DNA sequence: CCGTATTTGTCCGTATGTATG
DNA sequence: ACATACATACGGACAAATACG
């Protein structure tokens, strides 16, 4: 039992006892970062954070160690931890790696996709075709889900893990993913093409299409960055 | 000052003050794992380890948290940490992801390689052609270095980081990388082909060749595993 | 299956050195 | 140069879970 007051902290850390406190807190901080409560560059004071969560410094420091490993925060010796800031150049690097993982996922999935999975992808692409041309947010969400689904369908836990970690990092990049409304139909069309390659079991074609598709996204991001 | 004895522990943790104790210890444990001092499956007792390093449990637990994040150890609540064991299926997954990163690296490098870098790669491939057919270990080392060099030459820090983490994980796979001596010339030839693609700035060709090359390695590994 | 020993998870107090205004 | 805030690390403590005989 806690000897301290342990009033209901920021998030409900209770209820789940399957994971250790440090894991719970790490997940909680991660949510706060990804959700925008803790913005990039924000300083993370150990005592303050520990008090907010109603825990001691020990588990909190362990949580910070984990978060540093996943790249969500940075730590320098004897200096406070900070929520990581991703520069334009770093974001470009992440985009490139993610493109590589996208391509790998497509290639692998083309070797092993089931009819049912294919059906799911088809439903997703048709849904994207129906998005209102000005509903950029909606399309952006569907786009992320489409690519995540392709990765998830490979069943490769290592790939899924790495891919999602990269996606999380991109949230730390300051610029919002601006997508020109007129680019939406083209994007939807590219998705359909990708699914076609996978359906034909053309791993190479799928990989190429996915990489090019991702590179297109990167280019738009870079262009925004220069402005 | 240390109030404890702090006799020279297993490794020399002193001298470097740029990183925190937990980082130093994490690196040290990582070395012990990769070097074979700590074999897969070995139980890691907190107090014992802490005593061996001459530190307290706090920093040691932080180090373990980091190592869990990089996949070198596993932790379950209320149970000792263990050096991770990689199953055949997991190794296969890792091989696939690494193949994807290899392909991505080749594709990126084809876009930006310098003449000097190209020269370096050519030297490496010619060195591989000259390896004695029975010197499997030597070739294996050159092989790892060749691929690491391609990745490193991209200058993409994220890619380099992920790639090397995956390579480390494969060390935890129990089976040694058996390579049939007769396969060596073929491997060397494939490397030469890959460099040719990169030299021609054919990113797609390089990616395909690298992925196929890596898949070949995976196949041999899987076959050994089944025996 | 039970009782005991071990080990982890967590907290607290404290000392020390490093950064910051 | 000084004071304050803070991170780093130590050590002791104890409950609870686990491992063991």
DSSP assignment of chain A equals: --SS-----SS---S--SS-HHHHHHHHHHHHHHTTSS-TT-EE-HHHHHHHHT--HHHHHHHHHHHHHTTSEE--TTS-EEE--B-HHHHHHHHHHHHHHHHHHHHHHHHH--HHHHHHHHHHHHHHHTS-TT-HHHHHHHHHHHHHHHHHHT--HHHHHHHHHHHHHHHTBSS-----GGGHHHHHHHHHHHHHHHHTT-HHHHHHHHHHHHHHHHHHHHHHHH-
Count CB pairs under 8 A between chains A and B.
108
In A 26-55, which Cβ lie closer than 7 Å to strand D? Answer: 44-47
CB contact under 8 A, B19 and A77: yes
Asked whether the CA dihedral A69, A74, A77, A79 is positive or negative, the reply is negative
Question: Comparing B183 with A202, which gets the higher pLDDT?
Answer: A202
Q: What is the pLDDT of residue A168?
A: 96
Q: What is the pLDDT of residue A6?
A: 39
B3 pLDDT higher than 70: no
Q: What is the pLDDT of residue A56?
A: 97
CB contact under 8 A, A100 and B107: yes
Interface of B with A (CB under 8 A): 17-20, 22, 58, 61-63, 65-66, 68-70, 75, 77, 90, 93-94, 96-97, 99-101, 103-105, 107-108, 156-159, 162, 166, 204, 207-208, 211
| Protein residue closest via CA to C1' of D14 | A1
Q: What is the pLDDT of residue A224?
A: 67
Alpha-carbon distance B170 to B131, whole Å?
A: 24
What band does A11 get if pLDDT is binned at 50, 70 and 90? very low
How confident is the model over B65-87, as a mean pLDDT? 97
Q: What is the pLDDT of residue A183?
A: 79
CB contact under 8 A, B159 and A207: no
B87 pLDDT higher than 50: yes
How confident is the model over B85-105, as a mean pLDDT? 97
Q: Identify the CA nearest to A156 among candidates B149, B89, B162.
A: B89
> What is the nearest CA distance from B96 to chain A, expressed in angstroms?
8
Q: What is the pLDDT of residue B81?
A: 98
Q: Of all nucleotides in the shown strands, which has a C1' nearest the CA of B50?
A: D10
CB contact under 8 A, B156 and A22: no
A146 pLDDT higher than 50: yes
Domains of chain A in sequence order: 12-83 (1.10.10.10), 88-225 (1.20.120.530)
Alpha-carbon distance B197 to B207, whole Å?
A: 9
How confident is the model over B6-15, as a mean pLDDT? 45
A173 pLDDT higher than 60: yes
Decide: B103 and A103 in contact? Cβ < 8 Å: yes
Q: What is the pLDDT of residue A220?
A: 84
How confident is the model over A6-16, as a mean pLDDT? 45
What band does B56 get if pLDDT is binned at 50, 70 and 90? very high
A19 beta carbon to strand D: under 7 Å = no
B89 pLDDT higher than 60: yes
Q: What is the pLDDT of residue A217?
A: 87
Per-residue model confidence as pLDDT tens digits over B152-170: 999 999 999 999 999 999 9
Collect all residues with Cβ–Cβ distance below 8 Å to A203 and sequence separation of at least 6.
A106, A107, A108, A110, A111
Mutation site, A29, A30, A100, interface B, largest B CB count within 10 A:
A100
Q: Of all nucleotides in the shown strands, which has a C1' nearest the CA of B23?
A: D8
């Amino acid at each position: 039992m806690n000897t301290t007051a342990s009033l209901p902290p920021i998030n409900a850390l209770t209820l789940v006892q399957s994971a250790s406190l440090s894991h719970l807190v790490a997940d909680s901080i991660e949510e706060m970062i990804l959700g925008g409560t803790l913005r990039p560059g924000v300083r993370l004071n150990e005592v303050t954070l520990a008090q907010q969560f109603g825990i001691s410094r020990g588990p909190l420091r362990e949580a910070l160690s984990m978060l540093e490993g996943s790249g969500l925060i940075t730590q320098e010796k004897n200096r406070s931890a900070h929520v990581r800031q991703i520069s334009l150049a770093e974001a470009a690097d992440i985009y490139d790696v993610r493109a590589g993982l996208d391509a790998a996922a497509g290639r692998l999935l083309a070797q092993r996709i089931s009819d049912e999975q294919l059906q799911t992808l088809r439903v997703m692409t048709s849904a994207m075709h129906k998005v209102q041309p000005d509903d950029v947010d909606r399309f952006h969400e569907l786009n992320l889900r489409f690519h995540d689904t392709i990765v998830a369908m490979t069943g490769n836990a290592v790939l899924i893990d790495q891919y999602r970690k990269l996606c999380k990092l991109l949230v730390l990049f300051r610029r919002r993913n601006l997508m020109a409304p007129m680019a939406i139909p083209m994007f939807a069309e590219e998705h359909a093409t990708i699914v076609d390659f996978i359906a034909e079991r053309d791993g190479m074609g799928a990989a190429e299409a996915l990489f090019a598709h991702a590179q297109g996204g990167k280019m738009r991001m870079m262009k925004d960055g220069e402005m």
